């Protein structure tokens, strides 16, 4: 059976699917890693926080007691090391402070944290033991467990996340893939603007060169391919990909013609080139592309432009991986695209099974570089609900290829600072270095000898070992000087960054003198007086919940005096239909009836809503940023300056949902108004029981008239009824005197 389609580039393999009931029975035979870890945790818990060597014997137990510490097993000190426990649970900062005290004590020779020992590089995903390609007893596997102890394809020492471009659609909402989907954060979605000026309009979630949008197909084949390269691990859900922390870029190839293929590769190249040119501050760190499709029996000489693409991609540092045909033929003789192109920027892959035998896949001493697992692989498939296992058995070179693409990302995430620097400064040489490591690190495979360039099958640990052989030991670097402000108790190697000058200061972000650069608090934090900001200006603040149906409004009134010069608005927004965050309009009205519109993309007509009590003269003062133009839930914020609205008396905030449909939205507003001060004596409006101060008895009086529709003692806002807005206003003055 082949995966052939009769025309231009096609998917190399359709699924050999298994019913999920059979897979469930298969899985029942495997113990879960998470169960084993839970049992180990219960058995291995103990209260030891520190390991300490003392100058004298017996240890100074009273000194330890004064620090809230005690000896655990006082009569046991292997190698002269005492186990010291804490009398209460400690946070990370507490541990650092206590460790400093221990290290500075005159009776202490050496003190350190009691580091937690973990299994290295494995995963708690329940189906990973059924993924034979990662680890199996006969060692015919990728040695993923050993490799993941070194790298999982996540951020490199410079903080850059390697990205694999999957050149076909996959489901971005699949639980195994959603956390790894590469998003272009520089682009604002769906605003029809090329925000980052990269030549692609609205490429937030990837790119489809056929439709010129980021609407990419979500087929099962691509989902399995993406899962092989980079399904997430450590999420206690199903299996894991080869590089479980790498980014996965979605690039579609539309109607599967060579033009779309070249355009798809161009997008990947442009994103990486932008990354290189900006020294990693823009674009994407695309290190590999994957092509699980091709043309059987094709002569590369007939496709010179397509083949030339791979040299061009290599120039910017991208290695490209392609699946060969699912036919037992020698492609050196019969031809194949793209695996016959012969570029150093291309790695061509055939498929092997769990016994290291070549499966029903093509070969070629000159054209095919190596083999990778591609037979009966348990991989993600279409996602419908959490109850759906969403895994199936897949076979074909389509899935051997992304194993190698994921391996490229795995190597780029290695803890090797020198290589990370080279990837940025010399991207082509770094890519060739990864290529060499992959090809030299294979497991010898007799069934591939003399019919592939390496005669071997991919081994992740072997490839990483090849790459790391030229790197220094960088397991943990940082400041190792205990007296330094930035002392890193987990560091093994000093990196020269120790700072002994800026230890102490204010560490409270809410304080006026907060210093983000200091590590330890010196008690110097200062906070503004209630009702004022750090500059001494009056500041009126509110937190206001306002669920609104489409076309409705609600209001919140308060007593204040002064000139409002600016506002800070934060909106927690949840749409129940088609409403956008930018449809949620907030208007501030002064006692004289003048008003300013604080949020919304466009000025509104104050008469547009029937019976809405908006100010008669509303000035469009502030506009929500463009990213408010979405119905996605989230937190949105904006700052408005130059309001200059004055008055003494009853001010009002009006919240309006301008969405024309019947669906509503849930809103929580956080509003700071600069320059508005409490009016002396006006708090008496909150003193419902007239006892001279605003307290619990006023809350009780208000709640007792809840829902009242006329002559209501708790109607603080004066809107004719007692509701949440009255209670919110009362609570703003709670505990204050009204005299």
Last residue of a domain, one of 468, 483, 498: 468
Instruction: With respect to residue 444, please indicate whether it lies within any of the assigned structural domains.
Output: yes
Closest CA relative to residue 231, chosen from 148, 353, 120 = 148
Last residue of a domain, one of 468, 487, 512: 468
Closest CA relative to residue 233, chosen from 379, 122, 147 = 122
Contact 2/296 with Cβ under 8 angstroms? Answer: yes
Alpha-carbon distance 483 to 137, whole Å? 49
Whether 105 and 217 share a structural domain: no
Alpha-carbon distance 295 to 63, whole Å? 76
pLDDT tens per residue, range 172-221: 988 889 999 999 999 999 999 999 989 899 999 999 988 889 999 888 88
Instruction: With respect to residue 500, please indicate whether it lies within any of the assigned structural domains.
Output: no
**Strand, helix or coil for residue 289:** strand
Instruction: Provide the H-helix boundaries in 299-396.
Output: 304-315, 331-334
Q: For residue 548, what are the contacts with CB-CB under 8 A and spacing of at least 6? A: 554, 584, 655, 656, 657, 664, 665, 667
- The domain that contains 454 carries what CATH number? 3.40.50.200
DSSP state of 304: H
Q: What is the torsional sign of CA 516, 517, 523, 525? A: negative
Alpha-carbon distance 355 to 445, whole Å? 10
Q: Which two tokens stand for residue 463?
A: 């490839």
Q: Which residues of the chain have pLDDT under 70?
A: 1-48, 72-81, 114-130, 132, 135, 137, 234-238, 382-389, 472-477, 483, 488-495, 502, 519, 530-531, 602, 605-626, 679-685, 690-692, 710-711, 717-719, 732, 736-739
Q: Which two tokens stand for residue 39?
A: 């049992």
Q: 479: how many CB neighbours lie within 10 A of its CB?
A: 19
Give me the helix-helix angle, 417-425 and 427-440, nearest 10°.
130
Alpha carbon of 26 to those of 2, 18, 124, 128, 405: distances in Å?
Answer: 27, 11, 18, 12, 28
Q: Which two tokens stand for residue 330?
A: 């020698």
Whether 215 and 335 share a structural domain: yes
- What beta strand segments (E) does 3-126 contain? 10-11, 48-54, 69-72, 82-86, 108-113
Instruction: With respect to residue 508, please indicate whether it lies within any of the assigned structural domains.
Output: no
Instruction: With respect to residue 727, please indicate whether it lies within any of the assigned structural domains.
Output: yes
Q: Which two tokens stand for residue 589?
A: 């009205």
Whether 398 and 254 share a structural domain: yes
Last residue of a domain, one of 417, 446, 468: 468
Q: Which two tokens stand for residue 671?
A: 């509003």
Q: For residue 81, what are the contacts with CB-CB under 8 A and spacing of at least 6? A: 51, 52, 53
Contact 86/69 with Cβ under 8 angstroms? Answer: yes
Give me the helix-helix angle, 304-315 and 427-440, nearest 10°.
100
Whether 185 and 252 share a structural domain: yes
**Strand, helix or coil for residue 80:** helix
- What beta strand segments (E) does 499-624 contain? 504-505, 520-521, 539-545, 553-575, 584-589, 594-597, 617-620
Alpha-carbon distance 266 to 528, whole Å? 54
Residue 461: its H or E element: helix 460-468
Phi/psi for 478 (5° steps) reads 165, -165
Whether 184 and 330 share a structural domain: yes
Q: For residue 117, what are the contacts with CB-CB under 8 A and spacing of at least 6? A: none
Predicted pLDDT of residue 237:
56
- The domain that contains 687 carries what CATH number? 1.10.1330.10
Closest CA relative to residue 364, chosen from 315, 324, 398 = 324
Alpha carbon of 633 to those of 543, 546, 700: distances in Å?
Answer: 18, 15, 35
Whether 242 and 370 share a structural domain: yes
Q: What b/e string do you get for 194-209 counting C-beta neighbours within 10 Å, with b at 16 or more?
A: ebbebebebbbbbbbb
**Strand, helix or coil for residue 408:** helix
- Give the global pTM: 0.52
Domain that holds residue 623: 528-679
CA 211 to chain centre: 27
Q: Which two tokens stand for residue 510?
A: 């809410």
Whether 241 and 170 share a structural domain: yes
DSSP state of 532: B
For strands 108-113 and 286-291, give the pairing. Answer: unpaired
Instruction: With respect to residue 458, please indicate whether it lies within any of the assigned structural domains.
Output: yes
**Strand, helix or coil for residue 544:** strand
Whether 624 and 732 share a structural domain: no
Instruction: With respect to residue 456, please indicate whether it lies within any of the assigned structural domains.
Output: yes
Residue 399: its H or E element: helix 397-412
Instruction: With respect to residue 274, please indicate whether it lies within any of the assigned structural domains.
Output: yes
The single residue listed with the structure tokens 């397991």 is 475
Contact 316/323 with Cβ under 8 angstroms? Answer: no
Closest CA relative to residue 656, chosen from 711, 562, 587, 568 = 587
Instruction: With respect to residue 486, please indicate whether it lies within any of the assigned structural domains.
Output: no
Closest CA relative to residue 686, chosen from 714, 663, 723, 658 = 714
Alpha-carbon distance 258 to 305, whole Å? 9
Q: Is the peptide bond before 648 cis (omega within 30 degrees of 0)?
A: no
Closest CA relative to residue 200, chosen from 248, 271, 291, 249 = 271
Whether 88 and 172 share a structural domain: no
Whether 53 and 167 share a structural domain: no
Contact 550/579 with Cβ under 8 angstroms? Answer: yes
Q: Which string of DSSP letters, residue by residue, matches 156-196?
A: -TTSPPPEEEEES---TTSTTTGGGB---TTS-TTSSS-TT
The single residue listed with the structure tokens 């049992």 is 39
Paired strand residues for 569? 638, 671
Q: What b/e string do you get for 426-459 counting C-beta neighbours within 10 Å, with b at 16 or more?
A: ebbebbbbbbebbbebbbebebbeebbbbbbbbb
Alpha-carbon distance 558 to 543, whole Å? 13
Q: 92: how many CB neighbours lie within 10 A of its CB?
A: 9
- The domain that contains 569 carries what CATH number? 2.60.120.380
The single residue listed with the structure tokens 């002559």 is 711
Domain count, the chain: 4
Q: Which two tokens stand for residue 525?
A: 């934090």
Whether 327 and 386 share a structural domain: yes
Whether 201 and 317 share a structural domain: yes
């Amino acid at each position: 059976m082949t995966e052939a389609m009769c025309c231009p580039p096609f998917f190399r393999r359709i699924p050999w699917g298994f019913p999920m009931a059979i897979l469930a029975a298969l899985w029942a035979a495997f113990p879960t890693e998470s169960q084993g870890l839970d049992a180990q945790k219960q058995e291995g818990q103990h209260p030891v926080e520190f390991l300490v060597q003392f100058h004298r014997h017996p240890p100074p137990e009273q000194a330890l007691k004064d620090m809230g510490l005690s000896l655990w097993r006082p009569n046991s000190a292997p190698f002269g090391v005492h186990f010291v426990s804490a009398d209460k649970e400690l946070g990370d900062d507490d541990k650092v402070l206590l460790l400093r005290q221990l290290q500075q004590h005159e009776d202490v020779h050496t003190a350190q944290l009691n580091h937690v020992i973990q299994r290295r590089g494995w995963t708690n995903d329940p189906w990973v033991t059924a993924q034979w390609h990662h680890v199996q007893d006969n060692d015919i596997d990728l040695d993923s467990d050993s490799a993941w102890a070194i790298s999982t394809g996540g951020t490199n020492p410079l903080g850059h996340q390697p990205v694999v471009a999957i050149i076909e659609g996959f489901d971005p909402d699949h639980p195994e893939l959603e956390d790894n989907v590469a998003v272009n954060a520089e682009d604002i979605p769906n605003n029809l603007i090329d925000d980052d000026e990269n030549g692609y309009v609205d490429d937030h979630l990837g790119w489809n060169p056929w439709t010129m949008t980021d609407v990419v197909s979500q087929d099962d084949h691509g989902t399995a391919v993406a899962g092989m390269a980079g399904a997430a691990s450590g999420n206690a859900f199903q299996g894991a990909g080869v590089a479980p922390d790498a980014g996965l870029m979605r690039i579609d190839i539309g109607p599967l013609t060579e033009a779309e293929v070249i355009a798809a590769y161009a997008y990947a190249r442009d994103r990486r080139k932008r990354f290189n040119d900006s020294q990693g501050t823009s674009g994407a760190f695309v290190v590999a592309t994957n092509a699980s499709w091709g043309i059987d029996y094709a002569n590369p000489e007939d496709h010179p432009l397509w083949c030339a693409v791979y040299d061009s991609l290599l120039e910017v540092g991208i290695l490209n991986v392609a699946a060969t045909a699912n036919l037992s033929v020698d492609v050196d003789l019969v031809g194949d695209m793209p695996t016959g192109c012969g570029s150093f920027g291309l790695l061509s892959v055939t498929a092997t099974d769990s016994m290291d035998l070549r499966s029903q896949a093509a070969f070629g001493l000159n054209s095919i570089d190596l083999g990778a697992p591609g037979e009966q692989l348990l991989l993600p498939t279409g996602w419908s609900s959490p109850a759906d296992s969403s895994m199936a058995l897949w076979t074909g070179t389509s899935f051997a290829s992304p194993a190698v693409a994921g391996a490229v990302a795995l190597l780029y995430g290695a803890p090797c600072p020198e290589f990370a620097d080279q990837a940025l400064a010399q991207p082509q040489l770094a890519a060739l270095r990864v290529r060499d490591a992959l090809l030299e690190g294979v497991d010898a495979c007799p069934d591939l000898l003399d019919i592939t360039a390496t005669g071997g099958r991919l081994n992740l640990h072997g490839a990483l070992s090849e790459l790391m052989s030229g790197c220094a030991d960088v397991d943990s670097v940082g400041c190792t000087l205990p007296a330094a402000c930035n002392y890193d108790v987990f560091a093994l190697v000093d990196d020269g960054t120790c700072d002994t000058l800026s230890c102490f200061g204010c560490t409270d972000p809410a304080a006026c003198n907060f210093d983000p650069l200091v590590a330890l608090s010196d008690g110097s934090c200062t906070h503004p007086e209630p009702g004022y900001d750090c500059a001494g200006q009056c500041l009126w603040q509110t937190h206001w919940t306002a669920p609104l149906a489409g076309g409705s409004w609600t209001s919140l009134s308060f007593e204040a005096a002064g000139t409002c010069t600016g506002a800070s608005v934060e909106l927690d927004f949840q749409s129940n239909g088609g409403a956008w965050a930018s449809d949620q309009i907030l208007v501030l009205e002064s006692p004289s009836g003048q008003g300013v519109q604080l949020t919304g993309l466009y000025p509104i007509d104050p008469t547009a809503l029937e019976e809405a009590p908006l100010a008669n003269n509303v000035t469009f003062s502030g506009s929500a940023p463009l990213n408010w133009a979405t119905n996605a839930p989230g937190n949105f914020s904006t700052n408005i300056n130059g309001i200059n609205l004055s008055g003494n008396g009853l001010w009002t905030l009006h919240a309006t949902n301008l969405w024309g449909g019947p669906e509503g939205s849930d809103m929580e507003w956080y509003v700071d108004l600069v320059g508005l001060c409490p009016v002396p004596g006006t708090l008496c409006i909150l003193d419902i029981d007239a006892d001279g101060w605003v307290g619990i008895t006023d809350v009780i009086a208000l709640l007792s008239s809840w829902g009242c529709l006329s002559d209501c003692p708790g109607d603080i806002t004066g809107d004719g009824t007692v509701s949440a807005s009255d209670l919110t206003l009362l609570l703003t003055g709670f505990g204050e005197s009204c005299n």
